Amino acid sequence: MANLNKEIVIVQGETKDIVVRLLNKDTKDPLDLTGATLTAKLPKTDGTALSITPSVLSAVAGKLKISISDTNSALLNADEYQGFEVHVTTATSAKHIVQFLKILTVKPKLF
């Protein structure tokens, strides 16, 4: 489960930081990211996923930042209301896939 309640808009070719907070789906408590391995997956134009390693802003609060470079954002699929995922492997080897559905809009550059 995640705490993100607004649409994310990215223009291909710009840099963008996405900050999210991950919650335990059963308890609604923050997902402890201490010692966790993280991978964000976003849709690319060729139908595959762009993998980015997020940085942890607060492990105990489940807060992380996905930093997308201008080069990487140029590879993203231009479309509205797409989803993306954050894959988490905790320090205890538990695996979580957190899906953000219909929240990502990528726009093509005009010029």
Rounded to two decimals, what is the model's pTM? 0.92
Q: What is the pLDDT of residue 5?
A: 66
64 φ, ψ (degrees, to nearest 5): -140, 165
pLDDT score recorded for residue 24: 86
Cα 57 from Cα 74, distance rounded (Å): 25
Looking at residue 25, its pLDDT comes to 85
Helices (H) and strands (E) in the chain, counts: 1, 9
Are residues 18 and 50 in contact, defined by beta-carbon separation less than 8 angstroms? no
Say what the pLDDT of residue 109 is: 94
Structure tokens at 49: 């996923």
Sheet holding 63-68, edge to edge: 2-3, 16-22, 63-68, 55-58
Position 4 scores a pLDDT of: 63
Sort residue 47 into left (φ over 0), alpha (ψ -120 to 50) or beta.
left
| pLDDT < 70 positions in the chain | 1-5
